[in-house]
Each structure stands twice: as structure tokens, then as C-alpha cells.
């Protein structure tokens, strides 16, 4: 047995104790434990690794932007030890063959554990996607997405999905309400993709809440929070919708779907998050190459990287006293794991030993050039964050002192 000692986040609070690890799992948590290898982190924090239920690592097909190796390395350095990867690849991951091909291709290449979404297009047979971890639907067009627009398609899908018990994550913007026009700014982008498109999509999905498990991706406006309150739907908020808004001078670097909205939206989603009212933190890490973003606003693709900076920036909000640690751990670790059926997201007996060690004194400034995504930029340049010093993936140290010391041991999670 190996032992990790430090200030653990255990049973809802920080306490000085030891974690016993065997075969990659946590086998005991006690005040004192003796083991073969003993890692003593003193008064530093030992937290569960984050689980990001929404990333786009671009494999196969767009490896000029990112690939699974760089995307997962970026996750690892950000303290994210498990990701769920989206299906809007080239070709899209929407049937048994494309899913198997993607799964085979990723084997042995990831730094963190991962699960794969199966994308749903109008003709998709849900039974052909039995090897996916969860399902994804786009109700509104976005980057390389396959769309579901018709009510009867949605109704058919809901019947088939309910039998699987798996979650359906939805990009909730009603396609019919999106306008095509010349766009030159973030405000134009917001106008093209109005908040009503998100609200209508959520209203539509609420009618399915008793039929299947639905998760709303990246909630972007305050009215959505009101609609979702008290419903059976789970939802995600992204760091960018909580820290950036359309009044900021970001140009196409801030172009994303759903759009960045007003300062009041941003502040309200962040405040709800800090009160524990947002179930999950998800980065929607969607890297694009700098030359694509520099093409001019209208031409630039939507999406921004974030898997390395999300958890780490929110840890800084904890240090600043804005966000309770237990709220962050719940939204970034525990709830994503519980929602998507992963044996992760908490320090507890039986869970995978995925942990990060944080020294609250070691605040760092974010620099795009220091991050590990292939895209090489970040919309959060110069902001501060608390990056992990040490990261354990299933009981093995993979990052120590901020450098890689272990092997790529990420694997596809059991379904
Ligand atoms: O801005 C976005 N980018 N929204 C999406 O829904 C897709 C994503 C991407 O894959 O680039
Ligand atoms: Zn989306
Ligand atoms: Zn996305």
C-alpha cells in the first residue's frame, strides 16, 4: 500500500489525514497510516482531481488544433484527471464504426482517463452507440456539429435513450432562432444567437425531463437558471461564461457558442455557482488555431480553450474567499462523476485514487505560452490561478513539482 498524507478534502471538509492506495484505488482514509511509499504533503491541500464532462480534443480529424495527447496533457496540468470528449469530430462520432475507430485510436495516448460521447444525428440508431459513455445532441448549429431539429426525431431519441439509462448532454440553442448576418463583434454574435434561442431550447427539453436523463451544456444567461431551477435537468456552466462577457475587448478570441453575454449574466451565473446552485463546472475546451481566430470576426470559428485554466482559476476564487471549497469540489469533481457514473470525484474508500496537491501560496499568472494545449493561446492571459504541484492518476504520480515525472496512463473509463 502507498500512503498520501496532507490536508485532505474528506467528508466535506479539510482535515489532516492519510490516504491508503492499492492498485490505483483508495483503500482507506485514516489519521495515521503506514505504507511502502509515503508521500507527505504537510499542510498542502490534497483534493480529488477534477472531472470535466465537456471537452473537444479534436481527434480524429482536426489535429492541427489539438490532439488527445496535447489536450489530455493540458487537462492534467490543470488538475483535471478525467474528461468526457465530444463527438463533433471529422468524421463525426455518430455510429458504431466511428466510435470504435476513435476508441482504438486513443488507446495508450491519453494522460488522463476519458469517456467518449456518442453524437446523435437524425438517422442515428441509439443501439449502434452502445459503446459510448453518454450521448450528445446539438439543437443549434455550431462548429462541425450534426443537428437534431425536428420534434419527432427528439421524441424517437428520447424513447431509445431512456432505455439505456445514460445521460444526454445537449447544446441547447434552437436552430430556427439563430440568425445569419455579417458579424463584426461579440455583441453582433450575441444578436445572431439570442438568449431566447437558449431559453426556448431549455423549455422544449423540460418537456422530456421525465423520459430521459438530460444535461444542459454551458448555460449562458440568467433566465436559463430560473427555468432550470427545481427541474430534473442537470446543467453545466463554463469558466468563460462566468468570467468573461461581451463588453470585454476580446474580439474573435471571445467568439463562442452560446455567446458570451452581458456583465449581469456573467455575474449572476457566477454568483449562483458560488451559492452551489450550478450542478457542474465544465470547460467546453474548444481549441482553434490562432490563424483561424485571426481571420476576421465573421470567419473565425467559435470556441476557446479552457481545460487547463478552469479548475485552477476557480481554486483561486476559493483562496480569495469568494467560493466555498466544498461548493467547488462538488461542482468540479463529485457531481460530474456521479452524473456520468464515474468511480471518481471524491476522496473516499473504493474510488479511483485521482488526486491533486495544491499549495495555496503558489499563485501563478496564466500565460498562453506556458499552457499545454496545441492551440497555444488562452482568453485568460495574465489572470491568476492555483495550478496543482503534484497530480496522481489512479495512485501514480504523473506530475510532481509542476513537471511530468510519470507515464501516460489514461484509459477509457468503464461504461
Ligand atoms: O463555441 C463552440 N465551439 N461551441 C460548440 O458548440 C462547439 C465548439 C467547438 O467544437 O469548437
Ligand atoms: Zn456546445
Ligand atoms: Zn462543446
Which pLDDT tens digit goes with each residue over 178-212? 999 899 999 999 999 999 999 999 999 999 999 99
Farthest CA pair distance, the chain:
65
- Output the CA angle 342-394-355, nearest 5 degrees: 85
Please indicate, yes or no, whether residues 366 and 392 belong to a single structural domain of this protein: yes
| 414 belongs to a structural domain | no
What percent of the chain has a predicted confidence (pLDDT) above 90?
Answer: 96
| 187 belongs to a structural domain | yes
For a substitution probing ligand 1, which of 66, 178, 292, 303 has the most ligand atoms within 8 Å of its CB?
303
Q: What is the mean pLDDT of the chain?
A: 97
Q: Which residue has the CA at smallest separation from atom 6 of ligand 1? A: 142
pLDDT the model gives residue 142: 80
Asked whether 257 lines ligand 1 (CB < 6 A), one says yes
The band of 15, judged by pLDDT with boundaries at 50, 70 and 90, is: very high
Strand ranges inside 143-262, DSSP E: 167-171, 213-216, 234-237
CB distance 164 to 158 below 8 Å = no
pLDDT the model gives residue 313: 98
pLDDT the model gives residue 140: 87
Q: Where are the alpha helices (DSSP H) in 89-150?
A: 96-106
Q: Which residue has the CA at smallest separation from atom 3 of ligand 1? A: 303
The whole-model pTM stands at 0.98
> For residue 190, what is the enclosing H or E element?
helix 186-192
Hey, what's the cell of 109? Answer: 495516448
pLDDT the model gives residue 66: 98
* Residue in 102, 83, 91 with CA at minimum distance from that of residue 61: 91
CB distance 344 to 352 below 8 Å = yes
| 32 belongs to a structural domain | yes
Please indicate, yes or no, whether residues 168 and 264 belong to a single structural domain of this protein: yes
| 411 belongs to a structural domain | no
Please indicate, yes or no, whether residues 77 and 27 belong to a single structural domain of this protein: no
CB distance 235 to 214 below 8 Å = no
What's the Cα-to-Cα distance from 288 to each of 54, 64, 67, 184, 317, rounded to whole Å?
16, 8, 12, 18, 27
pLDDT the model gives residue 123: 87
Which whole number is the average pLDDT over 224-249?
A: 98
Please indicate, yes or no, whether residues 162 and 32 belong to a single structural domain of this protein: no
pLDDT the model gives residue 143: 76
pLDDT the model gives residue 144: 73
CB distance 257 to 175 below 8 Å = no
The band of 59, judged by pLDDT with boundaries at 50, 70 and 90, is: very high
**CATH number of the domain to which 19 belongs:** 2.30.40.10
| 15 belongs to a structural domain | yes
Q: Which residues lie across from 403 on neighbouring strands?
A: 400
Ligand 2 centre to CA of 202 (Å) is 13
Residue range 333-362, pLDDT digits in tens: 999 999 999 999 999 999 999 999 999 999
Q: What is the rounded CA–CA span in Å between residue 245 and residue 178? A: 19
Please indicate, yes or no, whether residues 293 and 355 belong to a single structural domain of this protein: no
Ligand 3 centre to CA of 202 (Å) is 16
Q: Which residue has the CA at smallest separation from atom 4 of ligand 1? A: 257
Asked whether 142 lines ligand 1 (CB < 6 A), one says yes
Q: What is the rounded CA–CA span in Å between residue 415 and residue 399? A: 27
Candidate list 85, 284, 352, 354, residue with the active-site label: 284
Hey, what's the cell of 287? Answer: 481549441
Asked whether 88 lines ligand 1 (CB < 6 A), one says yes
Instruction: Examine the pLDDT at 145 and tell me if it is beyond 80.
Output: no
Please indicate, yes or no, whether residues 126 and 218 belong to a single structural domain of this protein: yes
Ligand 1 atom showing the smallest separation from residue 256 Cα: 1
Please indicate, yes or no, whether residues 122 and 40 belong to a single structural domain of this protein: no
Parent domain of 296: 49-339
| 245 belongs to a structural domain | yes
Asked whether 304 lines ligand 1 (CB < 6 A), one says no
Q: What is the rounded CA–CA span in Å between residue 290 and residue 288? A: 6
The band of 415, judged by pLDDT with boundaries at 50, 70 and 90, is: confident
> For residue 114, what is the enclosing H or E element?
strand 113-119
Ligand 1 centre to CA of 237 (Å) is 14
Q: What is the rounded CA–CA span in Å between residue 334 and residue 327? A: 10
**CATH number of the domain to which 125 belongs:** 3.20.20.140
Written as one string, the DSSP assignment of 45-93 is EEEEPEEEEEE---TTT-TTT--HHHHHHHHHHTTEEEEEE-S--SS--
Least distant ligand from the CA of 286 = 1
pLDDT the model gives residue 31: 98
Ligand 1 centre to CA of 48 (Å) is 28
Instruction: Examine the pLDDT at 126 and tell me if it is beyond 80.
Output: yes
Please indicate, yes or no, whether residues 54 and 72 belong to a single structural domain of this protein: yes
Instruction: Examine the pLDDT at 100 and tell me if it is beyond 80.
Output: yes
| 180 belongs to a structural domain | yes
Q: What is the rounded CA–CA span in Å between residue 54 and residue 282? A: 6
Instruction: Examine the pLDDT at 251 and tell me if it is beyond 90.
Output: yes
The band of 400, judged by pLDDT with boundaries at 50, 70 and 90, is: very high
Q: What is the rounded CA–CA span in Å between residue 220 and residue 262? A: 9
| 415 belongs to a structural domain | no
The band of 146, judged by pLDDT with boundaries at 50, 70 and 90, is: confident
Instruction: Examine the pLDDT at 141 and tell me if it is beyond 90.
Output: no
What's the Cα-to-Cα distance from 259 to each of 19, 87, 190, 405, 406, rounded to whole Å?
42, 21, 6, 39, 38
Please indicate, yes or no, whether residues 289 and 317 belong to a single structural domain of this protein: yes
CB distance 84 to 72 below 8 Å = no
Hey, what's the cell of 219? Answer: 448555460
Establish whether 23 is a catalytic residue: no
Please indicate, yes or no, whether residues 391 and 263 belong to a single structural domain of this protein: no
Least distant ligand from the CA of 143 = 1
Q: What is the rounded CA–CA span in Å between residue 337 and residue 356? A: 16
Task: Count how many domains the chain has.
Answer: 2
Asked whether 283 lines ligand 1 (CB < 6 A), one says no
CB distance 14 to 305 below 8 Å = no
Q: What is the rounded CA–CA span in Å between residue 10 and residue 76? A: 22
Ligand 1 atom showing the smallest separation from residue 217 Cα: 6
Please indicate, yes or no, whether residues 39 and 58 belong to a single structural domain of this protein: no
b vs e for 297-323, b when ≥16 Cβ sit within 10 Å of the residue's Cβ?
Answer: beebbbbbbbbbbbbbbbbbbbeeeeb
Please indicate, yes or no, whether residues 252 and 362 belong to a single structural domain of this protein: no
Report the sign of the C-alpha dihedral through residues 29, 32, 35, 40, in that order: positive
Amino acid at each position: 500500500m502507498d500512503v498520501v498524507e496532507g490536508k485532505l478534502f474528506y467528508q466535506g471538509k479539510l482535515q489532516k489525514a492519510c490516504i491508503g492506495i492499492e492498485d490505483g484505488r483508495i483503500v482507506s482514509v485514516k489519521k495515521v497510516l503506514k505504507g511502502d511509499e509515503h508521500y507527505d504533503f504537510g499542510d498542502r491541500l490534497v483534493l480529488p482531481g477534477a472531472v470535466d464532462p465537456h471537452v473537444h480534443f479534436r481527434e480524429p480529424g482536426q489535429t492541427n488544433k489539438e490532439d488527445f495527447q496535447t489536450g489530455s496533457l493540458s487537462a492534467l496540468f490543470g488538475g483535471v484527471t478525467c474528461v468526457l470528449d465530444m463527438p463533433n469530430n471529422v468524421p463525426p462520432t455518430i455510429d458504431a464504426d466511428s466510435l470504435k475507430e476513435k476508441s482504438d485510436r486513443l488507446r495508450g495516448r491519453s494522460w488522463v482517463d476519458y469517456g467518449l460521447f456518442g453524437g446523435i444525428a437524425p438517422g442515428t440508431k441509439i443501439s449502434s452507440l452502445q459503446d459510448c459513455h453518454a450521448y450528445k445532441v446539438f439543437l443549434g448549429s455550431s462548429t462541425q456539429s450534426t443537428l437534431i431539429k425536428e420534434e419527432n426525431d427528439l421524441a424517437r431519441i428520447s424513447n431509445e435513450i431512456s432505455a439505456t439509462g445514460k445521460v444526454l448532454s445537449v447544446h441547447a440553442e434552437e436552430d430556427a432562432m439563430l440568425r445569419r448576418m455579417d458579424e463584426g463583434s461579440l455583441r453582433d454574435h450575441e444578436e445572431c444567437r439570442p438568449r431566447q434561442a437558449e431559453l426556448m431550447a431549455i423549455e422544449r427539453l423540460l418537456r422530456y425531463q421525465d423520459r430521459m436523463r438530460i444535461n444542459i451544456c454551458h448555460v449562458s444567461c440568467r433566465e436559463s437558471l430560473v427555468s432550470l431551477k427545481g427541474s430534473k435537468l442537470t446543467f453545466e456552466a463554463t469558466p468563460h461564461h462566468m468570467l468573461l462577457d461581451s463588453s470585454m475587448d476580446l474580439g474573435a478570441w471571445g467568439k463562442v457558442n452560446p455567446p458570451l453575454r452581458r456583465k449581469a449574466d456573467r455575474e449572476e451565473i457566477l454568483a449562483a455557482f458560488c451559492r452551489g446552485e450550478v450542478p457542474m463546472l465544465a470547460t467546453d475546451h474548444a481549441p482553434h488555431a490562432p490563424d483561424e481566430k485571426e481571420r476576421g470576426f465573421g470567419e473565425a470559428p467559435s470556441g476557446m480553450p479552457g481545460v487547463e485554466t478552469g479548475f485552477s482559476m476557480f481554486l483561486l476564487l476559493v483562496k480569495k474567499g469568494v467560493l466555498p471549497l466544498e461548493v467547488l469540489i462538488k461542482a468540479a469533481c463529485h457531481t460530474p462523476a456521479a452524473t456520468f457514473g464515474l468511480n471518481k470525484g471524491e476522496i473516499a474508500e473504493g474510488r479511483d485514487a485521482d488526486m491533486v496537491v495544491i499549495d495555496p501560496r503558489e499563485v501563478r499568472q496564466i500565460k498562453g505560452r506556458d499552457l499545454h494545449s496545441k492551440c497555444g493561446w488562452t482568453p485568460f492571459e495574465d489572470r491568476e490561478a492555483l495550478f496543482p504541484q503534484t497530480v496522481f492518476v489512479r495512485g501514480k504520480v504523473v506530475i510532481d513539482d509542476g513537471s511530468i515525472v510519470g507515464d501516460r496512463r489514461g484509459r477509457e473509463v468503464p461504461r
